[in-house]
Structure 1
């Protein structure tokens, strides 16, 4: 891809500073566009190559918003060892060609192009199979009911704060979750879950409703103690 001029990069950075916009599907030959909708010679060549390369039912599609360009394609079962699991590969790059890699934005990308209930991973490989050729990032997304057997098991989405425990940045306009909780409630929920685990409960059997019910009981007991 030809290098962009400083003016082109400045215009793209300005686009990226605007509020998050939904993804729009682009033609495959837009992979090297400087202007969406106007195929370049390189873009047409890329399209011919990719359509041939991914003609085996991979369903390659290209998506763009004001911050990222994403290639979305199915991963054939022959190319992975996850039994009976549908996997989608998202190849992501910022439209200003920078190394922008924002976890929160990548979560939004996964949600929009696969689904809220899908789970995804990035791979940080051994040095012997590392690939680092451009400012482009990759996520492999798993269709439900598959769940990555690592990570946290309860949803914690915390409101903006800055405290001795760390800092949480502001939520972007239009993307602020409805179920934000105060920071103190995070530690309360963690204690409840740990108590359940210590009592012998399996982590997969603990539900959000159960944790919320116990939280309400604890709060009621605290109020009663404060009144007495």
Structure 2
């Protein structure tokens, strides 16, 4: 995310394609990412809302954000538990 943000911007979307074996290119343990250089383009799949946290819940592990990078909207443990109790997240 940091590299994508620095190269094209935080509101641009990209994908890492896991191709069919017949289209595979792997000559040195590479990863291939395609980024759309438009801050308004959205892929028709993926998440629709932002959720960021640094708490570990129910076996999930998350590294804490460095103090200088911690987002203002980083959810606390209480906020995450409340979110996960909502019906729309139960089948997440």
Q: TM-score range by the shorter chain?
A: 0.7 to 0.9
- Describe how 1:136-151 pairs up with structure 2 within 5 A: 136-142=30-36, 143-151=38-46
* Matched residue, 1:166: 60
Query: Which structure is higher in strand share?
Result: 1
Instruction: Spell out, residue by residue over 1:105-133, the C-alpha distance to the aligned partner (whole angstroms, 9 max, x if none).
Output: xx011111101110010000011111110
State the distance in 2 between where 1:149 and 1:117 align: 15
Gaps of 5+ in 2: none
* Structure of greater relative contact order (alpha carbons < 8 Å, 6+ residues apart): 2
State the number of aligned residues.
87
SS at match of 2:32: strand
Gaps of 5+ in 1: 1-106, 196-228
* Matched residue, 2:16: 122
TM-score scaled to structure 1, two decimals? 0.34
**Who wins on radius of gyration, i.e. which is larger?**
1
1:131 equivalent in alignment to 2:22: no
- Describe how 1:19-58 pairs up with structure 2 within 5 A: none
1:185 equivalent in alignment to 2:72: no
**Partners of 2:9 and 2:39 within 8 A in 1:** no
TM-score scaled to structure 2, two decimals? 0.77
